[in-house]
Amino acid sequence: FVVTPMGSSSNQPQEIEEGEAGFALLFPKIDGVKIHTFHFSKDVKNRVFDESKFAEAGLKNNPDLRVVLLFGYNSWKSGATRFLHQIVNPLNEKSIILAGGQVESFTSLTSENNQAQPGDACGVVGLAFSGPQIQSATVLLDQDVADERTAEAAMQRLKAANIPEHNSLGFMFACVGRGYRHYKTKRNMEADAFRKFFPNVPLFGFFGHGEIGCDRIVTGNFVLRECNDIKDDLLHGYTTVMTLIHFGSTK
User: Angle at the Cα of 149 (from 146 to 152), degrees rounded to 5?
Assistant: 95
103: helix, strand or coil: strand
- Asked whether the predicted pLDDT for residue 231 surpasses 70, the reply is no
Domain annotation covers residue 54: yes
- State the DSSP code for 221: T
Question: Do residues 73 and 123 make contact, with C-beta atoms less than 8 angstroms apart?
Answer: yes
Q: Which of 53-62, 77-86, 131-140, 174-183 has the lowest mean pLDDT?
A: 77-86
- Asked whether the predicted pLDDT for residue 109 surpasses 70, the reply is no
Domain annotation covers residue 20: no
- Asked whether the predicted pLDDT for residue 228 surpasses 50, the reply is no
171: helix, strand or coil: strand
Model pLDDT, residue 230: 46
Check residues 233 and 177 and name the one with the higher pLDDT: 177
- Number of folded domains in the chain? 1
- Name 28's Cβ contacts closer than 8 Å, sequence gap at least 6: none
| Best CA proximity match to 248, nearest among 153, 133, 148 | 133
Domain annotation covers residue 153: yes
Domain annotation covers residue 221: yes
pLDDT band at residue 180 using 50, 70 and 90 as cut-offs: confident
pLDDT digits (tens, 9 = 90+) for 113-129: 444 455 567 889 999 99
Check residues 39 and 220 and name the one with the higher pLDDT: 39
Domain annotation covers residue 219: yes
Domain annotation covers residue 206: yes
Domain annotation covers residue 214: yes
Model pLDDT, residue 1: 84
Q: Range of 193's domain?
A: 31-109+119-246
